[in-house]
Amino acid sequence: MNKKASVLILTIFLVVILLILGTALIARSISENNMARRNVDSTHAFWAAEAGVNQALEGLRSSYSQCGTAVFTGTLSSVDAGYSVDVSCSGQDRIISSTGFVPATGAIRVQRITEAVIKKSIPLGFYDKAIYSAGDVDLNGSVYSIDGDVVYADEIDNIDNITGDVTQDSTIVPLALLDFSQLLSISQAQGNYYDEERLDDGDPFPTSFWYEEPSDPLDPTTGVPNVVYVTEDLTLKGNVGTLGGFFVVVGDVITNPSDIQDATINGNGQIEGAIYTRGNFRINGGGGNLNINGGVWAGQEARLNGNAHIDYNDTYMSAIEALGIDASAQITSWKEQLNPYQLTP
pLDDT in tens, 69-91: 999 999 998 899 999 999 999 88
Is 333's pLDDT higher than 60? yes
Burial of 13: CB neighbours in 10 Å, binned 0-12, 13-18, 19+: exposed
Is 286's pLDDT higher than 70? no
What mean pLDDT, rounded, does the chain reach?
90
Residue range 272-287: mean pLDDT, rounded: 89
Is 1's pLDDT higher than 60? no
Strand partners, 115: 97, 335
Residue 234 main-chain phi, psi, to 5 deg: -100, 110
What pLDDT, on the 0 to 100 scale, is given for residue 92? Answer: 87
Q: Are 326 and 62 in contact (CB under 8 A)?
A: no
Is 15's pLDDT higher than 80? no
Closest CA to 308 of 264, 278, 248: 264
pTM of the model: 0.83
**First-to-last C-alpha distance (Å) of the chain:** 54
* 3-state helix/strand/coil string of 115-151: EEEEECCCCCCCCCCCEEECCCEEECCCCCEEECCEE
| pLDDT tens digits, one per residue of 213-243 | 999 999 999 999 999 999 999 998 888 899 9
Is 143's pLDDT higher than 50? yes
Lowest mean pLDDT among 17-26, 271-280, 315-324: 17-26
What pLDDT, on the 0 to 100 scale, is given for residue 29? Answer: 66
Give the CA radius of gyration of the chain. 30
Strand partners, 274: 246, 295
